[in-house]
Chains A and B, each alone.
Chain A
Amino acid sequence: MFQVYGIRHHGPGSARNILEALDEQAPDLILVEGPSDSGMPLEFIGTDALTPPVALLVYDPRDYKQATFYPFATFSPEWQAIEFAHKKNIPVAFIDLPLSIIKEWGKQAALRLSLAPEEKTAEYSGDPLGEIARLAGYSDSEAWWDLMFERKPGKAVFEHIGRLMEALRDDLPGSPMALNTAREAWMREAIRKHLKKFQNIAVICGAFHAPALQATSRIPSATDKKILKGLKAKKMASTWVPWSYDRLAYQSGYKAGVLSPAWYELLFASPEDAPARWMVRAARLLREQDFDASSAQVIDAIRLTKTLATLRNQEVPGIAELLESVISVLGSGATEKLEWLHRQIVIGEKMGSVSPKVPRIPLQEDIEKTLRKTRLNKDWNTAGTIEKKLDLRKENQQEASIFLYRLQLIDIFWGKRIDNSPYNTGSFSEAWVLERQPAFDLAIIEAGVWGNTLPEACLAKVKHGIRNQKKLEKLSALLYHSLIADLPLLVAELIVAIREVAAHSRDVRDMMKSVPELATILRYGQTRKTETGAVAAILDSIFPRFCIGLPSLVQQIDPEQAEIIRRYMLRIQRNLHILPDPNFAGYWLEALDRIAGLPAAHPKIKGISTRLRFERRHINATQMEEELYLALSRGQSPEDTAFWLEGFLTGNRLQILYQPALWEKLNQWIADISEEAFLIILPVLRRTFDNNSVAERKKILDAAKFGLPHYLLDSEEENLDPKRKVLITNTLQQLLGWNLG
């Protein structure tokens, strides 16, 4: 004999009723709709090893993309039924179609969808409950179901559900979904198998499937065997992972989700006084926010809730009535306060936990150990985003930073650096934002194949990833990453790889992109107490070759490429003083010299070359002006001139104002240009001055209107106090790291 109980997943009423029904039936076996290949012992349910909400993660150990989470809360009927089984020492098992088959099904369905439309079978894929709800005048099926079945106590409700579903299924348009047919056949077969050994079985499944399972004895086993012919399950693995109410809520995109997990929890725990308890919590939260919420108002709000429920023909008020009463009585009609209440007591901020008693792969354990050691444990178990500031001078905060970087190397981006945080000034502090995602649990298991500890996994995974990597840029970025993640073994590996690639590389563009990365490593190497000699050696090998190749890189290129190169050239010059070999500056300037003289080099690059050489005092003001005259001369097309100016001036702030000769020349050039040509170059010119601040642009405008201010024209150095001048130049020289001459 067996009894089928159709439930709503995560329905608190279903959960209470199932307990009552099971108590009366006293079954000798409980079967639950859940993937029968989960392979996960269910014995942790109901012990202190799991604190709901938690999810059963079932995955294919050969293909981690084939994975599914099965979330449970205390108010999930399945959870209660399994807990009941454990308490009474009754065996319990999952009986649904194995997940491996369902996943395989999904792949083939995707293939089928690409066929011609008429070949698609007319399967009914709608929301059957939604349709009844609409007939009954409800906009969503949850509200309707909630009212019809969840708030009615007593096991008799299962019979009604069964009958209703039977009538519904008989009238559905189109053929039943093939996957559902297979699932139901599989479940019926499972029930038949168990009936050989057990006499009194309880079957718990989603309401929709209840009639199909009820019919087990009427349908011949051969029919089901035919449906299931050829379906083969593969071995799957599974584990328990913490879940949160936020992700249990329908709004998070979870299809079987509910509107209000926090309310359901209350409703399950104390159905009689749940509205009162909820209202008291709402009032307390409002008081915390300095809103009036007296006990008298709470009483009035509860009364209004009940009157509303009566008016709407409901025995017990639901979350909608509660919310309306809160707005009307406590909120003076204002909905703004609700946003916050919603998060707290409609959705709820609860996060479940899984204790170390649940077997897990070594990498999970290692990560949890590190979480505790670095005191990130609490953050890891918090839903939502958290901002975290780390002071790298403190040992355990530096460890936390290292840990976050290591996680990134195995593709777990729990922590992300905030680039523009004011806290980032200086190299010893970092601002992070942490956000836990459900996929991380799976990613950790996935990374488990690479090693049993986090450093091991990082090493093996990255090593594997760079086998065919021939880009210096990518390798240098990884090198920097592994340096700040304190993985010396990986650093060594990467250095070998980079050296190898660098030795054979002829890709000047790639070298250009890796130079600033490598220079940064040299600069920060000291903060992180890293051996940087090897990096210096790599730079030794590529920098001269890069300088030789650069002039050929900047010829015959389009403006977009020129812009990229211009930015890198600026970065390289800024890093020049960190580079190990003092001769490097010489190579660099030589390359710039050649670019300035190349007719085919992009004018923007020529412009920046002139500027960079002048900044380094490689050419003097007269030489610089000569190059400017050349660029502005009539023989050049106005467009080329504008590009040249962009390269020369962008981000160069007020230089044109402080070089009267330059100013005069530019002024003259603009005045002479024809209107037609002016319109062509206008966008480039605009871009050139866009980076300047409003105040700077105002100064330039004033100079254009009224001429240069006299103090700028009058650059007689004799007026300067020589003593003060020395003080200033000395300091500046120390700060800038080069000789001002």
Chain B
Amino acid sequence: MTEENLIRLHAEQAFENELRQLEQSDSGHKPENWKLSPRSVVQYIIGGSLSEGVTIQPKYFGDRRLIELAVATLATDRALLLTGIPGTAKTWLSEHIAAAVSGNSKLVVQGTAGTTEDAIRYGWNYARLLAEGPSEAALVPSPVMRAMQTGSVVRVEELTRMPAEVQDALITILSEKTLSIPELDREVQAVKGFNLIATANSRDQGVNELSSALRRRFNTVVMPLPATLEEEVHIVQSRVAQLGESLQLPENTDTAGEAITTLVTMFRELREGKTADGKLKLKSPTSTLSPAEAISVITNGQALAAYFGDGEIKARDIAAGLQGAIIKDPQQDTLIWKEYLETIVKGRQGWEDYYTAAVALLK
């Protein structure tokens, strides 16, 4: 298995070079067990150029202060909670921060309704347990436990999807920084550098709200949607370009162009419930229409254009993905989408093809 044929690389693999360069030129104070100083971590995320002529690609477009707040949180011993609606780069950011701080973004607990306490504390190798009784060798440490032992950052994805009682297993870990193993009559004490980044979705229904005891142990950073059209177009464009490389789409594939601006404008207008010039009120669909969805619609269109078209993204390549992204509730959203097509898309210059393609799909 070589890195080249993997679909997706971990952050520390993909940006290995950047991380090494940053580490070499880092003169700031590093908290114990941190690979980089907090300032370099921020620079790794925000991007920029180092004095040696090395360019750091931006990983997150948006408010630098927000990233500073997140990194500063990890430098104090409080845990970080990133919340926001889906597609606001919560997981993306947590992976990159973990990679920059600990050089390892692979310590992850994936929160689901079926996550058990084992995933947070520890489990057992049952064959061994039965044969030898409780012993160190029979213990299977969780990612959290391993992070505590190595002084690394552990990520907990979708914290609010876990059952409340599993979530609460984190309380002592975060406040006492110890994890007791009563079966062996011993405990694991966290090494300096240990911390936790959790992400939580603020839109989904059926989430298990954090208890106030657990919430108190987190510093919360709310991830915003991109503030301006330009910013959002820029995000979508650069991510699409990166994805296109890893998906190995044919050379002549169009990566930028009108399509992204048009799509992002539509998403923003529908999301905000008003036209870009602020003159007309619109109805908002139930879908989140985040930049992440825009990215997937465009990549989808890219693939269509590359394999079935001439490589240039046309309205019909996007229309199908567009409809799928917007219509989540078949009844309500279809009406809203139709209304938007008739009142806005139809009359706007240069959008005629989108109108035709989208209307054809609705029939």
Query: What residues of chain A have their CB less than 8 Å away from a CB belonging to chain B?
Result: 292, 294, 296-297, 300, 303-304, 307-308, 310-312, 320, 324-325, 327-329, 331-335
Q: Does A304 contact B222, Cβ atoms closer than 8 Å?
A: no
Stretch in B68-76, B93-101, B105-113, B254-262 touching the partner: B68-76
B65 CB-CB contact with A under 8 Å: yes
**Cα of A292 to Cα of B218 in the assembled complex, Å:** 13
Which chain A residue has the least Cβ–Cβ distance from B70? A328
Q: Besides the contacts A300-B78, A307-B73, A308-B72, what 11 more A-B pairs have beta carbons closer than 8 Å?
A: A292-B212, A297-B216, A300-B76, A300-B219, A304-B219, A307-B72, A311-B75, A325-B69, A331-B220, A334-B222, A335-B222
Q: Which residues of B contact A294 (CB under 8 A)?
A: 216
Q: Does A328 contact B221, Cβ atoms closer than 8 Å?
A: yes
Beyond A311-B42, A312-B68, A328-B69, whether A333 also contacts B78 by CB under 8 A is no
Q: Which residues of A contact B128 (CB under 8 A)?
A: none
Which chain A residue has the least Cβ–Cβ distance from B212? A292
Q: Does A303 contact B69, Cβ atoms closer than 8 Å?
A: no
**Cα of A308 to Cα of B215 in the assembled complex, Å:** 21
Please tell me which one of the listed residues B42, B65, B73 contacts residue A320 in the complex, with CB atoms under 8 A apart.
B65
| Per-position binary interface string of chain B over residues 40-83, scored 1 when its CB falls under 8 Å from any chain A CB and 0 otherwise | 00100000000000000000000001001101110110100101
**Cα of A334 to Cα of B76 in the assembled complex, Å:** 21
Beyond A292-B212, A292-B216, whether A308 also contacts B69 by CB under 8 A is yes
- B346, chain A: closest CB distance, angstroms: 31
Most buried by B among A294, A320, A329, A331: A329
- A296, chain B: closest CB distance, angstroms: 8
Q: Does A328 contact B75, Cβ atoms closer than 8 Å?
A: no
B38 CB-CB contact with A under 8 Å: yes
**Cα of A449 to Cα of B220 in the assembled complex, Å:** 60
Q: Which residues of B contact A296 (CB under 8 A)?
A: 216
Q: Which residues of A contact B71 (CB under 8 A)?
A: 311
Beyond A307-B72, A307-B75, whether A328 also contacts B216 by CB under 8 A is no
Q: Does A324 contact B69, Cβ atoms closer than 8 Å?
A: yes
**Cα of A671 to Cα of B79 in the assembled complex, Å:** 77
B274 CB-CB contact with A under 8 Å: no
Q: Does B65 contact A324, Cβ atoms closer than 8 Å?
A: yes
Q: Does B65 contact A329, Cβ atoms closer than 8 Å?
A: no
B39 CB-CB contact with A under 8 Å: yes
- A302, chain B: closest CB distance, angstroms: 10
Q: Which residues of B contact A329 (CB under 8 A)?
A: 78, 219
CB interface residues, B 204-246, toward A, < 8 Å? 212, 215-216, 218-222
Q: Which residues of B contact A303 (CB under 8 A)?
A: 76
23 inter-chain pairs at a CB distance below 8 angstroms, sorted by A residue, are A292-B216, A297-B216, A300-B76, A300-B78, A303-B76, A304-B73, A304-B76, A304-B78, A308-B72, A310-B38, A311-B38, A311-B71, A328-B69, A328-B219, A328-B220, A329-B78, A332-B218, A333-B81, A333-B83, A333-B221, A333-B222, A334-B222, A335-B222
- A358, chain B: closest CB distance, angstroms: 45
Which chain A residue has the least Cβ–Cβ distance from B71? A311
Which chain B residue has the least Cβ–Cβ distance from A308? B72
Q: Does B42 contact A328, Cβ atoms closer than 8 Å?
A: no
Which chain A residue has the least Cβ–Cβ distance from B29? A310
Q: Which residues of B contact A304 (CB under 8 A)?
A: 69, 72-73, 76, 78, 219
Query: What residues of chain B have their CB less than 8 Å away from a CB belonging to chain A?
Result: 38-39, 42, 65, 68-69, 71-73, 75-76, 78, 81, 83, 212, 215-216, 218-222
Q: Which residues of A contact B220 (CB under 8 A)?
A: 327-328, 331-334
Q: Does A307 contact B222, Cβ atoms closer than 8 Å?
A: no
Q: Does A311 contact B78, Cβ atoms closer than 8 Å?
A: no
Please tell me which one of the listed residues A308, A327, A334 contacts residue B68 in the complex, with CB atoms under 8 A apart.
A308
Q: Which residues of A contact B76 (CB under 8 A)?
A: 300, 303-304, 307
Q: Does B73 contact A328, Cβ atoms closer than 8 Å?
A: yes
Which chain B residue has the least Cβ–Cβ distance from A296? B216
- A334, chain B: closest CB distance, angstroms: 8
**Cα of A333 to Cα of B76 in the assembled complex, Å:** 17
- B128, chain A: closest CB distance, angstroms: 41
**Cα of A363 to Cα of B212 in the assembled complex, Å:** 58
**Cα of A332 to Cα of B218 in the assembled complex, Å:** 8
**Cα of A440 to Cα of B220 in the assembled complex, Å:** 46
**Cα of A425 to Cα of B85 in the assembled complex, Å:** 50
- B200, chain A: closest CB distance, angstroms: 10
**Cα of A329 to Cα of B219 in the assembled complex, Å:** 5
The 10 tightest CB contacts between A and B, nearest first, are A333-B220, A333-B222, A307-B72, A328-B219, A308-B72, A303-B76, A332-B220, A307-B75, A311-B38, A311-B72
**Cα of A292 to Cα of B216 in the assembled complex, Å:** 8
**Cα of A563 to Cα of B81 in the assembled complex, Å:** 64
Q: Does A311 contact B39, Cβ atoms closer than 8 Å?
A: yes
- A299, chain B: closest CB distance, angstroms: 10
**Cα of A331 to Cα of B221 in the assembled complex, Å:** 10
Q: Which residues of B contact A320 (CB under 8 A)?
A: 65
Q: Which residues of B contact A331 (CB under 8 A)?
A: 220
- A322, chain B: closest CB distance, angstroms: 12
**Cα of A717 to Cα of B71 in the assembled complex, Å:** 88
Q: Which residues of A contact B68 (CB under 8 A)?
A: 308, 311-312
Q: Which residues of A contact B39 (CB under 8 A)?
A: 311
**Cα of A325 to Cα of B70 in the assembled complex, Å:** 10
Which chain A residue has the least Cβ–Cβ distance from B219? A328
- B104, chain A: closest CB distance, angstroms: 22
**Cα of A292 to Cα of B220 in the assembled complex, Å:** 14
Which chain B residue has the least Cβ–Cβ distance from A331? B220
- A390, chain B: closest CB distance, angstroms: 42
- B273, chain A: closest CB distance, angstroms: 19
Which chain B residue has the least Cβ–Cβ distance from A312? B68
Most buried by A among B38, B212, B219, B222: B219
- B125, chain A: closest CB distance, angstroms: 38
- B41, chain A: closest CB distance, angstroms: 9
- B31, chain A: closest CB distance, angstroms: 10
Q: Which residues of A contact B222 (CB under 8 A)?
A: 333-335
**Cα of A709 to Cα of B83 in the assembled complex, Å:** 63
**Cα of A324 to Cα of B76 in the assembled complex, Å:** 15
**Cα of A436 to Cα of B219 in the assembled complex, Å:** 41
**Cα of A294 to Cα of B78 in the assembled complex, Å:** 15
- A327, chain B: closest CB distance, angstroms: 8
Q: Which residues of B contact A297 (CB under 8 A)?
A: 216
**Cα of A588 to Cα of B257 in the assembled complex, Å:** 78
Q: Which residues of B contact A327 (CB under 8 A)?
A: 220
Q: Which residues of A contact B38 (CB under 8 A)?
A: 307, 310-311
**Cα of A334 to Cα of B220 in the assembled complex, Å:** 9
Q: Which residues of B contact A300 (CB under 8 A)?
A: 76, 78, 219
Q: Which residues of B contact A333 (CB under 8 A)?
A: 81, 83, 220-222
Q: Which residues of A contact B212 (CB under 8 A)?
A: 292
**Cα of A236 to Cα of B140 in the assembled complex, Å:** 86
- A4, chain B: closest CB distance, angstroms: 36
**Cα of A327 to Cα of B221 in the assembled complex, Å:** 8
Which chain A residue has the least Cβ–Cβ distance from B81? A333
Q: Which residues of A contact B215 (CB under 8 A)?
A: 332
Which chain A residue has the least Cβ–Cβ distance from B200? A333
**Cα of A300 to Cα of B220 in the assembled complex, Å:** 13
Which chain A residue has the least Cβ–Cβ distance from B215? A332
**Cα of A332 to Cα of B160 in the assembled complex, Å:** 14
**Cα of A334 to Cα of B215 in the assembled complex, Å:** 13
Which chain A residue has the least Cβ–Cβ distance from B68? A311
**Cα of A406 to Cα of B13 in the assembled complex, Å:** 79
Q: Which residues of A contact B73 (CB under 8 A)?
A: 304, 307, 328
- B74, chain A: closest CB distance, angstroms: 9
Which chain B residue has the least Cβ–Cβ distance from A304? B76
**Cα of A406 to Cα of B218 in the assembled complex, Å:** 58
- B79, chain A: closest CB distance, angstroms: 11
**Cα of A312 to Cα of B221 in the assembled complex, Å:** 18
Q: Which residues of B contact A325 (CB under 8 A)?
A: 69
**Cα of A335 to Cα of B222 in the assembled complex, Å:** 9
**Cα of A308 to Cα of B75 in the assembled complex, Å:** 9
- A332, chain B: closest CB distance, angstroms: 5
**Cα of A292 to Cα of B212 in the assembled complex, Å:** 9
- A495, chain B: closest CB distance, angstroms: 55
**Cα of A294 to Cα of B216 in the assembled complex, Å:** 9
